[in-house]
Amino acid sequence: MSRTMPSSLRFTEDGLGLGQLVARWAYSPPAWCLLGFLLGKGAIFGEIWPFGLAYAAVWRRGQRIRAVLPVVGVAVGLTAALGVYEAVPYYAALALISLVPVPEGRAGWLVGGALAVKAAVHYLLRPMPIVFIVALTECAFALFTLGMIKTVIERCLEQQLAHQELFVFFVALTLILSCGWSWGGFSLRLFLASWLLVLGARVGGLGVACILGPSLALLLLLLGEPTSMVLLLVTASVLTGFLYRFSWGSFASLFLALVFSVPGPVEERTLQWLLLLMAAAWLAGRVPRERLDVLARLIPGTEPFMQQDKGHDEHLKMVLDQKIDGYLTVFEELEHTLQESDHPLFKKQMQGLAELLKAIKASFSPQAHFTRELEERLLTQFASADLAYITALQCLDGFDIYGARRNLCPTRCFCQEVAAYCSGTIASQRYAVVNRNCASGNCGFQISPSPAYQVEIGKAAVARAGVSGDSQVSFEISFSKVAIVLSDGMGIGPKAQTESSMTLRLLERMIKAGYDLRTAVSLINRLLVLRNHEEMFVTIDLVVVDLFTGQLEFVKVGAAPSFIKRGREVEIIHNHTLPVGVLDQVEVEADRRTLKEGELLIMATDGVLEARRRVARKEEWMCWHLRRLQEDADPASLAERILQDSIDMADGRVDDDMMVVVARLVPAQREIEAYRRVQTSGL
């Protein structure tokens, strides 16, 4: 019954904007080679070179051909910094990293082994014990930076959430590590560190600033910068974290940090630092707020991260509540059903309950998992919309998307824009807004798949005596799946009606709760066997209609044949099993057909076909009759016409309960129900 979803989302490619073109160039092999060159040059204390080896190890985890240019860049950078002779030990380490196969998750061991080889080669060239201390220090720094470099590169190559922002951050850190350029008091490292510090305060306030500032200060200290610059960054981190909310806050905080950290009298270098700090604050203020919000969703403790996490929690609770409610209704129905049974076969009852527990366990396996890829794509696409959260849940038809803005949208149609974007992006499905709340301060919405069709259903029924033993129900399984079920209780009167209606009621609740069809029918069969004192059997005639494709999935257990009318052609769908409650085990086999727009699906109980008792091949008689049926009326009128013709064939006699259901696919319209009940006729 369920449709298999693709293992990964399929996105349609839209036009490349300027940002995408820049990202494509920035992520090209020459760009990664240049970054490898810069990291290869980066040294701590002027004597320790760990960053290039960590960078090469990250690339080694991917395709070997893709790692060639980054590793070459690292080798060239080491050569430029050390010379060929001094770089020989690092060549050996790079060769080991490039050539030795390594299992997934073992990059740290690879770096450690490479540095051990480097230490041995280095000792052969310069037999001094200090080379082993240098190797241990390089190993510690390389392992520390390995995880950060790996995260950035993977996010950039896979273009995950905030990949462009992380790439810029990575480039800035690389320049700080490798480029100690300075013109008088104009230091590139001070400019980049101040710029990153102001951006960090704008992203996460005091918490992020107080972590980022001391980290950058420690890095500058390891790179050999003066202690006054280090003290300046530490002081600025606290002040910027407090004052970042004001438009002038970044300028004032950097100015005050300079005053507090650099002793008087004012020198030329102090004025140069002041100009540099003001330029960094100005440039950081030019970064759009929406780009920073995208980056903030990756940082725990920031407001965007907490709102996104809150959205996940709320909708996970909602999904679990719906599942639990569905199972509760099933247990309540089971309790009501077993009250009338005094059958001693307690073992069989326990087997039935065990099947229930297995279904519950299977249902709570990760069906409703969050699709981070879709969420991140939506957050990036609508970064300027001031979104509080976006949550995407995989459902039976595609994805249910829940979201909210922090403020009401001016046009009151933002949710329609999201639906339109999803319709052209996700697996070629059409999406629509199914729920929205514009009354409160937050603009909330739900977007779900919108099927191409709706199904019109009409029925006609007549009872032999008072109460009909035939029952019928139609219900939505999801936004794009509708179930139509008939049940014929053997015999006539209230007892037959009780059995058939109980069967339909329990089957509906189990399917809505997420039970597999085979499990649901098997459990109902066992229940009827337990309570069957008078040999009252029932049939199940179920069809599930897919409103996206028109596919029909039939499950017939002891039911009469169904028919699909395609103009003058009529197709028969036969039954191959006994009614429910006859045997301890029942085999459920699904039969699939396709219903096109305008074609008719006719379902009937056996009383309709048995109207011509003297005819041996009753299905062929019904096909002949349906070929002559005019299709110009609504389904209820057509069902009434078929039923009346069957009664006329029996000379007006009603020897058994009779029911006819007619369904037809029509094009779907916006904001309508997935299926439409047409007037029910009764004779």
Range of the domain at 77: 13-179
Q: Are 201 and 110 members of one domain?
A: no
Q: What does the pLDDT look like over 224-237, one tens digit per residue?
A: 888 889 999 999 99
Answer for the pair 601, 669: CB distance below 8 angstroms, yes or no: no
Q: What does the pLDDT look like over 313-341, one tens digit per residue?
A: 677 667 766 776 676 666 666 656 655 55
Percent of the chain scoring above 90 in pLDDT: 18
Quote the pLDDT of residue 346: 44
Residue 489 has φ and ψ, to the nearest 5°, of -75, 130
CATH of the domain at 468: 3.60.40.10
Instruction: Note whether residue 564 is domain-resident.
Output: yes
Which residue would you say has higher pLDDT here, 45 or 675? Answer: 45
Q: Are 174 and 203 members of one domain?
A: no
Instruction: Note whether residue 388 is domain-resident.
Output: no
How many domains is the chain built from?
3
Q: Are 62 and 201 members of one domain?
A: no
Q: Are 293 and 197 members of one domain?
A: yes
Domain edge (last residue) among 147, 179, 211: 179
Partners of 546 in the β-ladder = 481
Q: What does the pLDDT look like over 614-638, one tens digit per residue?
A: 666 778 888 888 888 888 888 999 9
Q: Are 233 and 121 members of one domain?
A: no
Domain edge (last residue) among 179, 211, 246: 179
Q: Are 72 and 35 members of one domain?
A: yes
Quote the pLDDT of residue 358: 56
Angle, in degrees to the nearest 10, between helices 68-82 and 29-41? 30
Instruction: Note whether residue 170 is domain-resident.
Output: yes
Q: What does the pLDDT look like over 54-81, one tens digit per residue?
A: 888 888 766 667 778 888 999 999 999 8
Mean pLDDT of the chain: 80
Q: What does the pLDDT look like over 137-146, one tens digit per residue?
A: 888 888 888 8
Q: Are 146 and 242 members of one domain?
A: no
Quote the pLDDT of residue 279: 93
- Per-residue pLDDT band for 568 (boundaries 50, 70, 90) equals confident
Query: What are the b/e assignments for 166-184, b being 16+ CB within 10 Å?
Result: bbebbbbbbbbbbebeeee
Partners of 466 in the β-ladder = none
Which residue would you say has higher pLDDT here, 196 or 610? Answer: 196
Name the range with the highest mean pLDDT among 191-200, 438-447, 495-504.
191-200
Quote the pLDDT of residue 673: 44
Q: Six-digit token pair at 545? A: 């209609």
Q: Write down the pTM of the prediction.
A: 0.61
The yes-or-no verdict on residue 197 having pLDDT over 90 is yes
Quote the pLDDT of residue 362: 54
- Per-residue pLDDT band for 2 (boundaries 50, 70, 90) equals very low
Which residue would you say has higher pLDDT here, 551 or 3? Answer: 551
- Per-residue pLDDT band for 677 (boundaries 50, 70, 90) equals very low
What is the Cα–Cα distance from 367 to 393, expressed in whole angstroms? 9
Q: Are 148 and 187 members of one domain?
A: no
Domain edge (last residue) among 150, 179, 208: 179
Q: Are 127 and 167 members of one domain?
A: yes
Q: Six-digit token pair at 252? A: 């004032």
- Per-residue pLDDT band for 280 (boundaries 50, 70, 90) equals very high
Instruction: Note whether residue 470 is domain-resident.
Output: yes
Q: Are 96 and 237 members of one domain?
A: no
Q: What does the pLDDT look like over 648-664, one tens digit per residue?
A: 888 888 888 889 999 99
Quote the pLDDT of residue 613: 67
Q: Are 103 and 247 members of one domain?
A: no
- Per-residue pLDDT band for 535 (boundaries 50, 70, 90) equals low
Quote the pLDDT of residue 131: 85
Q: List Cβ<8 Å contacts ≥24 apart for 614-623.
A: 619/561, 619/572, 619/574, 622/561, 622/563, 623/563, 623/570, 623/572
Q: Is 556 exposed, middle or buried (0-12, 13-18, 19+ CB in 10 A)?
A: buried
Distances in Å between the Cα of 618 and the Cα atoms of 259, 301, 579 are 100, 71, 19
The yes-or-no verdict on residue 365 having pLDDT over 60 is no
- Per-residue pLDDT band for 199 (boundaries 50, 70, 90) equals very high
Instruction: Note whether residue 344 is domain-resident.
Output: no
- Per-residue pLDDT band for 483 (boundaries 50, 70, 90) equals very high
Instruction: Note whether residue 437 is domain-resident.
Output: no
- For tokens 């997934």, what's the residue? 104
Instruction: Note whether residue 497 is domain-resident.
Output: yes
Q: Are 184 and 132 members of one domain?
A: no
Instruction: Note whether residue 439 is domain-resident.
Output: no
Across 440-455, average pLDDT:
82
Quote the pLDDT of residue 593: 92
